[in-house]
Structure 1
Amino acid sequence: MTPDAALGAFRAAIVRSFPELEGASFTLLAPGWHSDAVDVDDRLVFKFPRHEAAEQALAREARLLGLVRTGVTMPVPDLRLHAGPPMFSHHGKLRGEHLLTRQYEALPERARQELAEKLGLFYAEIHRLDRPALEAAGARPIEAWIVPEEILRRIRPVLPEGLCAYADRTVAAWQELAADPHGTTYGFFDGHGWNMAFDHAAQRLNGVYDSADSGFGDLQQEFIYSNFISRDLTARIVGEYEVLTGRHLDRQRIELLSSVLRLSELAGSADDPEHLPAMLGHVADWAARGTV
């Protein structure tokens, strides 16, 4: 289906349930991994899952967000489901844009610290949510990364020679890593800049979205995703979190897991010519600035 045809089908489904939007402006957003999304009048977002597994994930995300929204200060989407057919969700749009590395680096000290304070509080609050209630709502372990030997097998044919030793060191260190002393927690586990609604004019974070990857995972893994924006931001978040929770986090562990994430994502895209260049770029850039 062409983008225009897809948008037409989505628009028809939306208007059937919301006839008051007949004259609204509809825009197809960049596709996600599991769903297509439509922006309506720059104030509403509708998500259409592509398959049954995506439908189940969207329903689970809606239930979990109902618990998260009442337990954290950070604004998150108020996701409402429509059974359809086709099944879809809608929520009020969180105002803001993605936060990328170059944009973060242009922020003044005050804005950087305020951002870290908001995210540190968000993680402290989401990690305190009631586990039995989350389990009853469908929370489950986060998706596991590809196993070490398979990562190396997949990436060696596509990895530049200069990065092979880096990959070997990273995977070896990961295999020797002890269990997280803080155990597991329910968390967001996707806190990169592509899931942030950042108001660049006001230099303020207005909320986070896309909780499809949330679930139970090792607590310190929560803090690796902001490294897609900046190590400086991650260091600030970690510092704020430690003050709020009294937990001491292992910076070297967070650095190592950030490296493993990039290699695992590269392994997952090794046979995908569309995404492979970007994943190689992530690994090369991270390795050039890293310490593993």
Structure 2
Amino acid sequence: MAIAPTAGPGTSAGLVRTLLAEQAPALVGLPVERLADGWDNHTFRLGERMVVRLPRHEAAAELHADEVRWLPELGPQLTTATPQPVAVGGPSPHFPHPWSVVEYIPGREAAAVPPAERVALAEDLADFTWSLHVPAPTHAPVNPFRGGSLATGAADARVRSRLADLARSGHAELAEALLPRWEAWSHAPDFDGVDVWLHGDLHPHNIVIGADGRLAGVVDWGDVTAGDPACDLATAWLTFDATGRRLFTERLEEGHPVDAATWVRARAWALHLGLVLLSRPDEFPRLVASGRHALDELRREDV
């Protein structure tokens, strides 16, 4: 999820068929159906087992390259399914960016389930996080918007601006309650450990739940990077209510102890990312409920 992306070229099922005919002819003839128009990618179902991902803009194309490059290496170490690349296409006269065909993970996004009903995936998501958060190589992708310090002028300015937007939208009391929490949490001691692998966008729209309510997969790896694990641990507030959060944190602490400062930074990341989810309600109305859920959960936390 890039910061304030702008829409790129139009897409359609016809465009997908054209790209497949040009660059992945073995996949021609399978049904193509629009799946979603996300922050960074347009996605289309391809048959029963695949998804076509078309970056929406130049910044998303750069994230797409990281996803395609690193998921095949990360996948085997993880405890849940990831959308592994099946085919990778390049720019053409019909579409200006690289694109890919990836495996489809059956299920529904966690955001489609009320937070109180996400409890069954809490321990699974903790296990996934533990399996991902291992030391990353020095040549891991760099993402300036994920995994670094939030105690910077740029991050602080973005959050304050979005809190002001929140207040103007009729939620002044919530914004006033969150500001001192942001000021305290964002100035927790900086991460001083070895950079670990991060998903970078671990919110309920990127978490797939199976028919049994358990974790079925984690998708949308464009923000993959290395850095402070607190960035991903923000999912404790983005995804869960108090009960699910307790199960998530307890399970994580069993095999991957987390120091108190990291949990404080995780609250700051959850506040930051919750505001991002709220930032474009006209274009992405389905993200609003998830952003509001996170902010409501954080409001209940002590400063």
TM over 0.5: yes
Equivalent residue of 2:88, what SS? Answer: strand
Q: 1:247 and 1:142 mapped to 2: Cα distance?
A: 22
**Ranges in structure 2 where 5+ consecutive residues have no aligned partner:** 1-6
Q: Rg bigger for which structure?
A: 1
Q: 1:237 and 1:163 mapped to 2: Cα distance?
A: 26
Is residue 2:38 matched to residue 1:26? no
Task: Show CA shifts across 1:210-244 (max 9, x none).
Answer: 11112123222211124232133333222222211
Is residue 2:77 matched to residue 1:71? yes
Is residue 2:282 matched to residue 1:282? no
Number of residue pairs matched? 279
Tell whether the 8 Å contact from 2:238 to 2:293 is kept in structure 1 after alignment. Answer: no
- C-alpha spacing 1:158/1:152, structure 2 compared with 1 (3 Å): farther
Q: 2:63 and 2:123 mapped to 1: Cα distance?
A: 30
Q: Which residue of 1 aligns with 2:225?
A: 215
Tell whether the 8 Å contact from 2:107 to 2:216 is kept in structure 1 after alignment. Answer: yes
Query: TM-score, normalization: structure 2?
Result: 0.77
Q: Which residue of 1 aligns with 2:102?
A: 91
Task: Show CA shifts across 1:184-227 (max 9, x none).
Answer: 42211222221122112x22322111111121232222111242
| Aligned amino acid, residue 232 of structure 2 | E
Is residue 2:155 matched to residue 1:147? yes
**Ranges in structure 1 where 5+ consecutive residues have no aligned partner:** none
Identity %: 20
Query: TM-score, normalization: structure 1?
Result: 0.79
> Where does 1:1-292 land on structure 2 (aligned, <5 Å)?
6-79=12-85, 80-85=87-92, 86=95, 87-100=98-111, 102-106=113-117, 112=120, 115-132=121-138, 135=139, 138-143=141-146, 147-153=155-161, 154-155=164-165, 156-180=167-191, 182=193, 184-200=195-211, 202-231=212-241, 232-249=243-260, 251-263=263-275, 265-266=277-278, 268-269=279-280, 273-275=282-284, 279=288, 282-283=291-292, 286-287=295-296, 290-292=300-302
Q: 1:221 and 1:171 mapped to 2: Cα distance?
A: 15
Task: Show CA shifts across 1:126-170 (max 9, x none).
Answer: 2214423xx2x5344544765324533442433533224213322
Q: Which moved more, 1:236-245 or 1:182-191?
A: 182-191
Q: Which residue of 1 aligns with 2:4?
A: none
Q: 2:172 and 2:222 mapped to 1: Cα distance?
A: 35
Tell whether the 8 Å contact from 2:206 to 2:218 is kept in structure 1 after alignment. Answer: yes
Q: 1:180 and 1:56 mapped to 2: Cα distance?
A: 26
Task: Please report how far the alpha carbon of residue 275 of structure 1 lies from its aligned counterpart in structure 2 after TM superposition.
Answer: 4.6
- CA RMSD after TM alignment: 3.3
Equivalent residue of 1:30, what SS? Answer: strand
| Aligned amino acid, residue 76 of structure 1 | T
Task: Please report how far the alpha carbon of residue 98 of structure 1 lies from its aligned counterpart in structure 2 after TM superposition.
Answer: 0.6
Task: Show CA shifts across 1:240-275 (max 9, x none).
Answer: 222112444555553444234323554x44xx6445
Tell whether the 8 Å contact from 1:142 to 1:217 is kept in structure 2 after alignment. Answer: no
